[in-house]
Structure formats: C-alpha cells, structure tokens
Amino acid sequence: MKVVSCIPQTGPCPMKCRYCWYNRYSHGPETPEPDSSLVRMNSGHDSNLEKDLVLKTAKRYRRVFFNTMKNDLDFPGPVVLTINNVETVHGLHPSGVQRKDNLMFVRIRVNPDNMHLVLLDAISWTGHHVPVILTPTVYFDRPRQDELYQYALGTWRPTNAFKTRVLREVQASAGPLVKMIDDYDAQCVFYYGAWEAKKTGSCAVMTEGLQ
C-alpha cells in the first residue's frame, strides 16, 4: 500500500521541537486527492493543532492515521505519538496517557546523549504492549563532531553502526516491540495493519513486528 502525506495547515509547525527536520523551511497546505493510499496526517506538523481543520480534512480519506506530540489522543483513527519533543528529559509516560487503545506506536527521539532516558522510556511503553520506533536525531543546524554521526547532504546523520548499537541495547531490555526507524512508509503500513487487526480482534497482542 502506498503512503501519502497530508498537512492541511499552512506555514511552519509552531511546536518548535528541537532540531525539527520539517521546520527547516516553511510549507504550504498539502492535501492529496483521495485514493487507496494510506494517508499520514501531519507528518511535518501536529494533528492537535488546528484540530477541527485536521479532522475535517481527514474525513476525505478511507485509511488515515494521525501524528502528535501532545497528550491528546482523541482521534477517529490510530495515532503516532512522539513522546520526547525535548530529548534531554524523560518522555511522556504511559501512566499519563488516558487513551492507549488507539496508539499505532510511539516514537522516541534518540541520540548519543540520551540513551539512558530512551532505554527506560522504551521499557515503560513496551510494558504496555505499545510498539516503539526509535528515531535518531538528524542534525542540520548543530553539527556533531563524533564518530557516531557522518556529514552528508548538508546534515549530520547517524551512522548505521550507531543505529545498530542503539537498537541492540534497547531491545535487550525492552524487547522486540522496539524497532529502529528504517523504511518508514513500510513501517507505517505494517503498524496500521496491526492496529486494524487488533481493533477487529484478529490479533490480540503484537509481539514481533518488522524485523
């Protein structure tokens, strides 16, 4: 299944998360024509901002999921929740989230400096059977100078060695529900399907996921 992005809001996302990849430039509304694609709402904004507009726009699509950093998961479809918009402190804990039933997965932003936080946060979420996707920070305005990142295409990107090591360390404690971001479209399709299966009762708890 194809994945397309939809951002009905205009201009940069006002959440101003540190090192936001999308806010390097301003963007206009992006509302693809409905087809059989899976629609990713607000990857590059936040589904809780101008929420009435987001919900009205999402109604056009058959398969849709939402993205937010805010602790409001009241959406008519599954939600990807990024728990640590500030990556230097612990992220949102599952005990503080009322609706966990419609979580597709949580994203945790990871870099060489916050591994100790990420490990504990991942354990707390997989303990509630919520899949976790680790997303290494991509630095475009604060170059790193260590061997864990490499400079390419104007940004400092995490090396594969870093990603492999982080995944191994976090999985060792938090289990196989933790994945590293990889082919993100394929991961979104997989977890959307898992959420649908759980909703319809054809799969009680997902324990493996993508390899």
The residues that touch ligand SF4, with contacts defined as CB under 6 A, are 13, 15-17, 20, 22-23, 44-46, 69, 85
Q: List the alpha helices (DSSP H) in 23-110.
A: 51-58
Nearer to ligand SF4, 107 or 206 (CB): 107
Say if CB 96 and CB 84 are below 8 A apart: no
b/e 168-201 (16+ beta carbons within 10 angstroms → b): eebbeebbebbbbeeeeeebbbbbbebbeebeee
Give the shortest CB-200-to-ligand SF4 separation in angstroms: 30
Residue 78 CA, chain-centre distance (Å), reads: 12
Nearer to ligand SF4, 27 or 100 (CB): 27
In whole angstroms, how close is the CB of 165 to ligand SF4 at the nearest point? 24
* Secondary structure element (H or E) that encloses residue 75, with its range: none
Looking at beta carbons only, is 11 or 143 nearer to ligand SF4?
11
Query: CB of residue 88 vs ligand SF4: minimum separation in angstroms?
Result: 15
Cβ atoms 69, 85 nearer than 8 A: yes
Least separation in angstroms between CB 100 and ligand SF4: 20
Cβ closest to ligand SF4, residue 80 vs residue 206? 80
